[in-house]
Amino acid sequence: MQRSAVFTALFSLAILSLLAACKAGTPGSLQGGVMKEIKQNVTIGGRDVKNPIPKSAAAIKQGAEHFQRRCQVCHGLDGHNTGVPFANKMDPPVADLGSTDVQGYTDGQLKWIIENGIGPSGMPGWKGILDDDEMWKMVWYIRNLPAAGSLGAPAIFKEQAEEHEGMQMMRKGGAATGEKKPHTHTPGTPPHKD
């Protein structure tokens, strides 16, 4: 009796997700959507755990300091990946912590993510490295992120970008001293005759 009720429930769930899949369209988005659901509802713990640290300007500021020390290499100073050159090249890409998806987690889930990391993605867990207090303050920072771009790029990437610009200027300089215009064809394809 009970078993068949469970079965019916599971069966209707399956139908529902199939229907949702039709709405979503491509198989890719089906998988992405279901995976996201599973991740947000099953894998990530801590849903009902409340932030024991009361909200205050000091807590947000301290959270920002910890964040900017530990997390900026991937998430940028502002939590929006500003100036992080590989953010979109990681698989999955580094999450924008201001996005509605991330803000949709409860405080307890955010703390859980920081503590345990996200499975096989590039998001590391910080258990044993950060204490609870630091993690909860970071949660306050994540809830109160500054506007994207407002803090500029992390220093290490700024230097890289400047070096890169320097190289480009040297290349341009080379072009000015007699080198023909930089070729745009890809290696291996014969240069076209005009």
Closest separation in Å from C-beta 107 to ligand HEC: 11
Query: In whole angstroms, how close is the CB of 49 to ligand HEC at the nearest point?
Result: 15
Give the largest CA-CA distance in the chain. 87
DSSP 125-147: --BTTB-HHHHHHHHHHHHTPPP
Compare residues 90 and 148 and give the one whose CB is closer to ligand HEC: 90
Task: Output 2 or 99, the one with its CB closest to ligand HEC.
Answer: 99
The CA-to-CA distance between both ends of the chain, in Å, stands at: 80
* Positions that interact with ligand HEC (CB under 6 A): 67, 70-71, 73-75, 90, 92, 94-95, 97, 101-102, 110, 113-114, 118, 121-124, 126, 138, 142
- CB-nearer residue toward ligand HEC: 12 or 31: 31
Q: Which of 171, 189, 169 is nearest to 181 (CA)?
A: 171
Q: How far is the CB of 160 from ligand HEC (least distance, A)?
A: 16
CA distance 192 to 194: 6
